């Protein structure tokens, strides 16, 4: 997977290298967590790649302008929510095809971020670095700590809260939720906005927690990998995150192997994608997706 080698100054030497996979896997984990919430409610976001790319670019610009990576993270979240509002208007309000709209979002984000980046920095290829998230506890930065908190909170929320149960029901049989007096449209909107926020956060963390810079198409397929990890993790927060960290582990290994082999670099860069494909084929078989996933809802009269 094309990713920038993290800058390790001040991050704690060997302990950091041993936990490097956590930071490599965190962007996929954030995106997959949000996507699992959306899919539980029947909202399929094929545009996850574009959401992450927009979050990454906005975080890069805000962090560079302010010198504050926390503001960069927040800006990435806002970018994801704004993009989710546009996509939700098309797919939830106007019941447009979710796959078509998601594909359009990917193309739009790729073209827009490339154009804006080149307009500001040209095509010199000069690496423009931005401040990274500081570590808080040992090698763990705020992004990794937030990821742990979100996994626990979402697990409890989905299993025990009224909204969590309604969110799951909307993804299975929306008319039953409507009959219970709840708004299917409102629940799907909420899920879509949460998923958008998480995707924007994923892109932002890729900049301030992993790469410390921005490059054209730097998400490099992580959005699609995140969608696959939702299936691999059976739409459960813990399963989704563990699956994502597994891909992050493979991603971190490629750098060690690149320096020890004469094989082409591209072969090692393909390993995370190959790993995701294999686990999806062998572990994802039999996984039952929400019955109403990707199906537009029209209120019954």
Q: For 26-60, how does the pLDDT look when each residue is reduced to its tens digit (9 = 90+)?
A: 999 999 999 999 999 999 999 999 999 999 999 99
* Other beta carbons within 10 Å of 78: 19
Which residue has 């697990």 as its token pair? 155
- Predicted confidence at residue 6, as pLDDT, reads 45
Q: pLDDT at position 138, please?
A: 75
pLDDT bracket for residue 120 (50, 70, 90)? confident
Q: Return mean pLDDT, the chain.
A: 87
Taking the CA atoms of 157, 59, 145 and 106 in sequence, report the sign of the dihedral they define: positive
Pick from 20-29, 176-185, 211-220, 276-285: least confident:
276-285
Measured distance CA(54)–CA(112) in Å, rounded: 9
Centroid of chain to Cα 258: 26
Q: Would you say how long the chain is, in residues?
A: 301
134-188 pLDDT per residue, tens: 888 877 899 999 999 999 999 999 988 998 999 999 999 999 999 989 999 999 9
Identify which has the larger pLDDT, 199 or 23.
199
- Helix 271-282 / helix 237-258 crossing angle, nearest 10 deg: 140
The confidence score (pLDDT) of residue 81 equals 98
Burial of 235 (0-12, 13-18, 19+ CB in 10 A): buried
Global confidence as pTM: 0.90
Q: What is the arithmetic mean of pLDDT over 207-225?
A: 93
Instruction: Give percent of the chain above pLDDT 70.
Output: 87
pLDDT score for 30: 98
Q: Annotate 31-90 with three-state secondary structure.
A: HHHHHHHHHHCCCCCCCHHHHHHHHHHHHHHHHHHHCCHHHHHHHHHHHHHHHHHHHHHH
pLDDT above 60: residue 218? yes
Q: pLDDT tens digits for 249-258?
A: 888 777 677 6
Query: Between these two residues, 73 and 9, which has the higher pLDDT value?
Result: 73
Please give the pLDDT value at position 252: 79
For residue 7, give Cα distances in angstroms to 79, 116, 134, 202. 25, 25, 12, 18
Cβ distance 255 to 17 under 8 Å?
no
End-to-end CA distance of the chain: give it in Å, rounded: 49
Residue 13's CB is within 10 A of a number of other CB atoms, namely: 10
Which residues are CB-contacts of 124 (< 8 A; sequence separation ≥ 6)?
none
Q: What is the pLDDT of residue 259?
A: 65
The predicted pLDDT at position 202 comes to 98
Q: Can you tell me the distance from the alpha carbon of 23 to that of 153, in angstroms, rounded to the nearest whole number?
A: 20
Band the pLDDT of 121: cuts 50, 70, 90.
confident
What is the rounded average pLDDT of the residues 288-297? 88
Between 234 and 203, the higher pLDDT residue = 203
Q: Are 54 and 77 in contact (CB under 8 A)?
A: no
* 88-99 tens-digit pLDDT: 999 999 999 999
Note the pLDDT tens digit of each residue in 178-191: 998 999 999 999 99
């Amino acid at each position: 997977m094309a990713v920038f080698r993290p800058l390790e100054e001040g991050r704690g030497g060997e302990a950091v290298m041993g936990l490097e996979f956590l930071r490599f896997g965190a962007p996929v984990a954030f995106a997959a967590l949000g996507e699992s919430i959306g899919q539980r409610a029947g909202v399929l976001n094929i545009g996850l790649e574009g959401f992450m790319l927009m979050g990454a670019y906005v975080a890069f610009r805000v962090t560079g302008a302010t010198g504050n990576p926390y503001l960069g993270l927040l800006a990435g979240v806002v970018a994801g929510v704004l993009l989710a509002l546009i996509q939700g208007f098309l797919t939830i309000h106007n019941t447009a095809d979710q796959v078509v709209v998601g594909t359009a979002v990917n193309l739009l984000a790729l073209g827009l971020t490339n154009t804006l980046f080149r307009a500001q920095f040209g095509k010199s290829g000069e690496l423009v670095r931005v401040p990274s998230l500081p570590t808080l506890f040992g090698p763990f930065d705020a992004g990794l700590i937030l990821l742990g908190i979100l996994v626990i909170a979402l697990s409890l929320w989905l299993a025990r809260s009224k909204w969590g149960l309604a969110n799951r029901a909307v993804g299975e049989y929306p008319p039953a939720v409507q009959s219970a007096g709840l708004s299917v449209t409102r629940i799907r909107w909420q899920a879509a906005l949460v998923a958008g926020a998480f995707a924007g956060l994923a892109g932002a963390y890729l900049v301030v927690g992993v790469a410390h810079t921005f490059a054209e198409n730097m998400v490099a397929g992580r959005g699609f990998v995140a969608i696959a990890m939702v299936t691999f993790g059976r739409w459960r927060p813990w399963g989704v995150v563990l699956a994502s960290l597994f891909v992050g582990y493979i991603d971190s290994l490629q750098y060690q192997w690149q320096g020890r082999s004469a094989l082409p670099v591209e072969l090692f860069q393909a390993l995370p994608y190959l790993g995701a494909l294999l686990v999806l084929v062998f572990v994802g078989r039999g996984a039952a997706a929400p019955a109403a996933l990707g199906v537009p809802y029209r209120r019954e009269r």
